[in-house]
Amino acid sequence: MRRAATSGQRGDTMASRLKRRSRGSPAKPRPPKVPNPVAVTLVESPEPRSDAFAVVGIGASAGGLEAFTRLLKALPGDTGMAFVLIQHLDPKHPSLLSEILSRASALPVTSATDDMAVEPNHVYVMPENADMEIDQGILRLARREGDKGHHLPIDGFLKSLARDQRGRAIGVILSGTASDGVVGLRAIKAEGGITFAQAEQSAKFGSMPHSAIAAGVVDLVLPPEEIATELGRIARHPYVRSHDAIPEAPVDQHGDALSAIFKALHASTGVDFAEYKQSTIQRRIRRRMVVHRMDRLEDYADYLKLKPGEVQVLYDDILINVTGFFRDPGAFEALRSSVFPEFLKQDSARGSLRIWVPGCATGEEAYSIAIALLEFLGDRAVGVPIQIFATDIDETAIETARSGVYRDSIAADLTPDRLRRFFIKVERGYQVTKSVRDMCVFAKQNVTRDPPFSRLDLISCRNVLIYLGPVLQRLVMPIFHYALKSTGFLLLGTAETVGAFSDLFEAVDRKHRIYARKLTAGRLGVEFAPSESTRAGIEVAGGRAEAAPGMQDVHREADRIALTRYAPPGVLVNDEMEILQFRGQTGKYLEPAPGQASLNLMKMAKEGLALELRAALHRVKKGGVSVRVDRLQVRRDGRRETVSLEVAPLRLRNGTQRFYLVTFEESARVAPAGARHRGARQQGEGAATEESERIEIKNELASTKEYLQSIIEEQEATNEELRSANEEILSSNEELQSTNEELETSKEELQSTNEELTTVNEELHNRNVELSQITNDLLNVLGSVNISMVMLGPDLRIRRLTAGAEKTLGLIPGDIGRRITDVRTLLPAPDLEQLVLDSIESMSARERTVQDRDGRWFAMRVCPYRTADNRVDGAVLVLLDIDDLKRSSQELQDSRDFAAAIVDTMRGALLVLDADLRIKKANRSFYETFRVSPAETEERLVSEIGGGQWNLARLLSPLRNVVQQGTRLEDLELAIDIPEIGPNLVLINARRLERESGSPPMVLLSLWDISRRERAETAVAELSGRLLRLRDEEQRRIARELHDSTAQNLSALLMSLALVDRVAGSLTSEARKALSDSIVLAEQCSSEIRDIASLLHPPLLDEVGLASALQWYAEFFTRRTGIRVDLEISPELGRLAPDAETMMFRIVQECLTNVQRHSGSPTATVRISRDPTAAMLEIADQGRGMPAQGDGSPGEKASRGVGIAGMTERARQFGGTLEVVSSDAGTLVRAVLPVAEHES
């Protein structure tokens, strides 16, 4: 109040003085400060070549040959595109894919080689045993590494194609199994390319197309022929033909259309893309235009109005991300070496570490930072709370991040140790462990509009700024500076730098884009993009919308005017004497130096100031106190002016940088030298003319001196008043500025705190919902299970009990909260308290058997109660009614005695088993035959005796059927190694022994030694198997010789004959006819030799598998014999062991040969099915049938001929069976082969 009154009394005098001064020296207006239009420097990718063309990557697996052929046949020959085919191939067998496809395509088809440049209108096929990528239009091949997990060649190539071709990359997924190609298509789509998938109903194997479609990374789903047509259309589209892959017209040309698109996006999603990077946004828009066959932006804007669903598709397309765990591993190593150690040196190690990941997408980046931090902290992580705030504008991506569930393909980005420590295997892939998920809080947030988090140690904002326009970049970078602690760090993407904000951040690791927060001289104004409620519309001009000035600009302009008029001029400099800010009019004292532009204070100081200024700065740096220097002479406009300067250090609480304020003050002026000389000359002339005038002049001079002295005194008083008023104004201004900054700080902190509370509250709500669901599940489980269960606290007080416990123990709900030992129960257990305490202390279960007052038996089990963090907090008491089991044991003892009496009367080797196949009794003959003792036999399972050699499925499974179904075990042969004797073959028979009073049945086993007979049969079988193998090997050798030698010789002969036919023009007609007949004969011989070689051993059997080989043989057999063969092969067949597939193929060959020779049937049917344990082959005809065994009744098994005996022996060699059933209606041959042991 006192200051205000003083200022008011002196207002007239001050105003008049300022008015007169303004007339004498009018101030030059300062030009307004224009903000730098580029806030963040982007490291752009190199421009594509001017002669670039689209490259199409086509991937397929099973069924791919047919799909490739259909696509290439329908493909136009002048698309101007290059096509690269990636097929899953066997690394051990040479591929003939390029030769086969060259017959189906009008384009040149070439097997790719290393360093081969792709050319338009050419097709390239990836060779076998290789991995392939593309770099600058050149194919790079590397030898395929050993099997390290699932091999994904399609993903590998398509990802490299996306990096290399960007908007010109086109990906196509055709028939195949599994999910190879999904990641590659996502990468292509993110770079602006087009993606296709084959329609599932048109593919032989639809798993690969289905996976890509389900992942949402496919633009068009079509059959191969329509894909080819669409590629021809896309080849002519401006989006692909343009040299820069972003065929943008000037924005003014499409301003209304773009505005309509932005408004539609804003209305549907709440996100304003007008300020985002326009080249990226328009690339996404034009990509959608390609998909919808549109060339004009106006047409697409109209389409959005007609199809509102397309707005969401465009929004998802704009936000598509290609992220992964530990993307750019070098950046994480840099964090580990440069940033994380700083956390431990600072206060963050004693408090909580706070990290913000804006633009987190589906959460991989946030989880990667959490995992890296846990690995770095090791055992210290227990004492350091970690909070990671991860935000994004995509709600769908946030939900994925919260769940923490990712595809199996993430295993390629993670080390086995990380996968084991921080992930658990679930049905849909892998899930991040709960401990890591609890560290991360995910929320929807728009970084340009919503308040940020505060007091952060690290911000990881990788590959977000590249999508923002300059206006949004200028908003975001000060926000990051505000949100970080003074010791915080900023991590950007490899294509981003801080650019014009180097005054806010200094580089820690330029290569990996890690920056540290700088201290600033003043508080930065933090602004946000206009909200939906305040933004009236979106104006599109020059590719971006102009942002309205914020209130911070108004405040800064008001401060500038006040400081310019009332404060002494000066500059703010740093420790290197670089000028950071000009304060007031400093042109009298500073001027730019000639030569290269510089803001160094020493270079800009005028003559007469530099030496004293340097000395003053040195004294301030050394002493840390202000230094003032007076009476410095500076020449200006022919005059010498006296100047004072003062250097004051700025005292900041945090940081290592130092700043200084240098101010200048002007002293009394000295009149120009020329004026003094002119005055003396005039006085001399006046003295010569009139003496009287000298006296008058002296009087006037004295009067003038007196008046001048009064003026000087008055001026000094005025100057003092002005200085006092100026100080008061400065003081008031500083107080107002300080108050304003405090209010602004409080507002921003409240906004940040509110945002954090909202985020935490949202996460808490989600966890409360999960907790409520878990509670409901627990209550339903406890209420529905018929088990007596009591949950006890560490003090033995009852927490919860089930209805069964109320009935068994006689408890009531009112007993909850009472000690279990204080309640009188129906089940006497005097040592119950000790039993519970022992279980809690030992952290293990305790069991005992008790009997209630009615004589019923119960099994009492006490288990420790474990919390989610594996802490023991009480016990769980479970009671199981075992009364029936207890009483059955007595009856079982009676049965055992009965069986023992029977067994002891028999002279042969006998065993008596219970229903669990446990040996209850063995006679003396058994012990003598197998050289074992009763202690080694009785009360042991059959599978446990003899060192486990009785533990065979073909013995135990029939025995279980004897017990459960009452079947008989007939003549089962089993090899048993008898001590001191060696292997003996035993013939086993079994019968079920029924028992009275509902007791479980028992099994009687008889064992007979048939070793001598079996040795003879084994020798015959081994000889037969050897003969069959030799036969197959000889057939394979002959087929190879025919193919590699005879067929090649005939091919050479054909070429020679064809050459003779072309060059021999003067042959006689008889000679030419003989030559033509020779060519026909040679071609016929070549064809027959190929057929013979394929019949002996078809190559398809080794290269593709049984199904393809049978398909070829059926077609060949039909052509040769006229008998139609119908194939019914189960899709679940897959591949079997090579020998097993050969065996089944030979059986089919033999059967179809018999059909041709003996049955007279016009058709034959071949069926192959498979279950988890066996593969079944059936060959049926409708012919005359075969002679039967026995009485010859229909359905009898047919008599064995040589062919059937050979087939039976083949099946037996693999542990399978073969039977032939024949009747007047036809013959059925059925072979069953176990696949568990032979499956590849």
Q: How far apart are CA 159 and CA 186, in angstroms?
A: 8
Q: How far apart are CA 662 and CA 626, in angstroms?
A: 10
Which tops the pLDDT comparison, 1158 or 160?
Answer: 160
Residue 850, beta-bridge partner list: 858
* C-alpha distance from residue 973 to each of 361, 581, 1010 (Å): 64, 101, 8
Question: For residues 639-656, b (16+ Cβ closer than 10 Å) or e, as one string?
Answer: eebebebbbbbeeeeeee
Q: Which of 479-488, 555-564, 875-884, 1184-1193 has the highest mean pLDDT?
A: 479-488
Which tops the pLDDT comparison, 940 or 1132?
Answer: 940
pLDDT tens digits, 880-894: 888 888 888 877 777
Q: How far apart are CA 556 and CA 733, in angstroms?
A: 12
Query: What percent of the chain is helix, strand and coil (3-state, nearest 5)?
Result: 50, 20, 30
728: number of Cβ within 10 Å: 16
Angle of CA points 427, 428, 429, to nearest 5°: 95
Burial of residue 902 (number of CB atoms within 10 Å: 0-12, 13-18, 19+): middle
DSSP assignment of 728-744: HHHHHHHHHHHHHHHHH
Q: How far apart are CA 1001 and CA 74, in angstroms?
A: 70
Distance, first Cα to last Cα, the chain: 96
Q: How far apart are CA 235 and CA 290, in angstroms?
A: 10
- Percent over 70 (pLDDT), the chain: 78
DSSP assignment of 1104-1128: T-HHHHHHHHHHHHHHHH--EEEEE
What ranges make up the beta strands (E) of 1034-1190?
A: 1124-1129, 1163-1170, 1174-1181
Strand order in the sheet with 788-792: 798-801, 788-792, 872-881, 857-866, 846-851
Token pair for 863: 């288990």
- What integer pLDDT is reported at residue 47 of this predicted model? 44
Q: Confidence class of residue 1042 from pLDDT cuts 50, 70 and 90? A: low
DSSP 582: E
Q: Confidence class of residue 551 from pLDDT cuts 50, 70 and 90? A: very low
Domains of the chain: 55-243 (3.40.50.180), 549-670 (3.30.450.20), 786-881 (3.30.450.20), 886-1009 (3.30.450.20), 1106-1240 (3.30.565.10)
Whether residue 60 has pLDDT greater than 60: yes
pLDDT tens digits, 567-610: 788 999 988 888 988 888 888 888 888 888 888 888 888 877 87
- What integer pLDDT is reported at residue 564 of this predicted model? 59
Q: How far apart are CA 263 and CA 248, in angstroms?
A: 20
Which tops the pLDDT comparison, 439 or 930?
Answer: 439
Whether residue 240 has pLDDT greater than 90: no
Q: How far apart are CA 769 and CA 766, in angstroms?
A: 5
If you average pLDDT over residues 617-635, what whole number do you get?
83
CA 242 to chain centre: 32
DSSP 200: G
- Percent over 90 (pLDDT), the chain: 15
Asked if 83 and 121 touch (Cβ cutoff 8 Å), the reply is: no
DSSP assignment of 38-54: --S-B-PPPPPPTT---
* C-alpha distance from residue 252 to each of 245, 258, 288 (Å): 20, 9, 21
549 three-state secondary structure: coil
pTM of the model: 0.46
Token pair for 1156: 């041709």
Asked if 1125 and 1117 touch (Cβ cutoff 8 Å), the reply is: yes
- What integer pLDDT is reported at residue 670 of this predicted model? 41
Helix (H) or strand (E) holding 4: helix 2-9
- What integer pLDDT is reported at residue 104 of this predicted model? 82
Asked if 178 and 208 touch (Cβ cutoff 8 Å), the reply is: yes
Asked if 37 and 143 touch (Cβ cutoff 8 Å), the reply is: no
Asked if 157 and 132 touch (Cβ cutoff 8 Å), the reply is: yes
If you average pLDDT over residues 9-19, what whole number do you get?
37
Output the average pLDDT for the chain.
78
DSSP assignment of 261-301: HHHHHHHHHS---TTB-HHHHHHHHHHHHHHTT---HHHHH
The candidate with the shortest Cα–Cα distance to 1142, out of 1174, 1113, 1171, 1181, is 1113
* Type of residue found at 798: I
Asked if 667 and 642 touch (Cβ cutoff 8 Å), the reply is: yes
- What integer pLDDT is reported at residue 244 of this predicted model? 46
Let me know how long the chain is.
1240
DSSP 951: -
DSSP 408: G
Q: How far apart are CA 831 and CA 808, in angstroms?
A: 18
DSSP assignment of 980-1003: TTEEEEEEEEEEEE--STTPPPEE
What ranges make up the beta strands (E) of 1058-1162?
A: 1124-1129
Backbone angles phi, psi at 222, to 5 degrees: -145, 160
Whether residue 674 has pLDDT greater than 50: no
Q: Confidence class of residue 710 from pLDDT cuts 50, 70 and 90? A: low
Angle between helices 11-24 and 2-9 (to 10 degrees): 60
If you average pLDDT over residues 151-171, what whole number do you get?
90
Q: How far apart are CA 692 and CA 696, in angstroms?
A: 7
Q: Where are the alpha helices (DSSP H) in 497-550?
A: none
Q: How far apart are CA 84 and CA 113, in angstroms?
A: 12
Which tops the pLDDT comparison, 1018 or 1168?
Answer: 1168
What ranges make up the beta strands (E) of 434-510?
A: 440-444, 456-461, 484-492, 505-509
DSSP 1196: P
Asked if 1218 and 1229 touch (Cβ cutoff 8 Å), the reply is: yes
- What integer pLDDT is reported at residue 1048 of this predicted model? 67
Question: Rounded to 10 degrees, what is the CA torsion of 735, 739, 742, 743?
Answer: -170
Per mean pLDDT, which range of 388-397, 832-841, 996-1005, 1009-1018 is the poorest?
1009-1018
If you average pLDDT over residues 430-448, what whole number do you get?
90
779 Cβ partners below 8 Å, 6+ apart? none
- What integer pLDDT is reported at residue 160 of this predicted model? 93
Q: How far apart are CA 988 and CA 1009, in angstroms?
A: 9
The residues annotated with a catalytic role in the active site are 61, 88, 180
The candidate with the shortest Cα–Cα distance to 300, out of 257, 245, 243, is 257
Per mean pLDDT, which range of 26-40, 665-679, 779-793 is the poorest?
26-40
If you average pLDDT over residues 828-845, what whole number do you get?
84
If you average pLDDT over residues 976-994, what whole number do you get?
83
1225 Cβ partners below 8 Å, 6+ apart? 1182, 1185, 1194
Q: How far apart are CA 436 and CA 366, in angstroms?
A: 10
- What integer pLDDT is reported at residue 18 of this predicted model? 33
* C-alpha distance from residue 112 to each of 146, 162, 237, 844, 957 (Å): 21, 19, 28, 63, 54
Angle of CA points 892, 898, 904, to nearest 5°: 130
Whether residue 541 has pLDDT greater than 80: no
Q: How far apart are CA 274 and CA 538, in angstroms?
A: 7
Q: Confidence class of residue 43 from pLDDT cuts 50, 70 and 90? A: very low
If you average pLDDT over residues 65-81, what whole number do you get?
90
- What integer pLDDT is reported at residue 531 of this predicted model? 47
State the chain's maximal CA–CA distance in angstroms: 176
If you average pLDDT over residues 523-551, what whole number do you get?
43
DSSP 1197: B
The candidate with the shortest Cα–Cα distance to 474, out of 32, 44, 40, is 40
501 three-state secondary structure: helix
The candidate with the shortest Cα–Cα distance to 1098, out of 1122, 1114, 1084, is 1114
Q: How far apart are CA 1107 and CA 100, in angstroms?
A: 20
Backbone angles phi, psi at 106, to 5 degrees: -80, -15
If you average pLDDT over residues 346-373, what whole number do you get?
85
Whether residue 836 has pLDDT greater than 80: yes
Burial of residue 15 (number of CB atoms within 10 Å: 0-12, 13-18, 19+): exposed
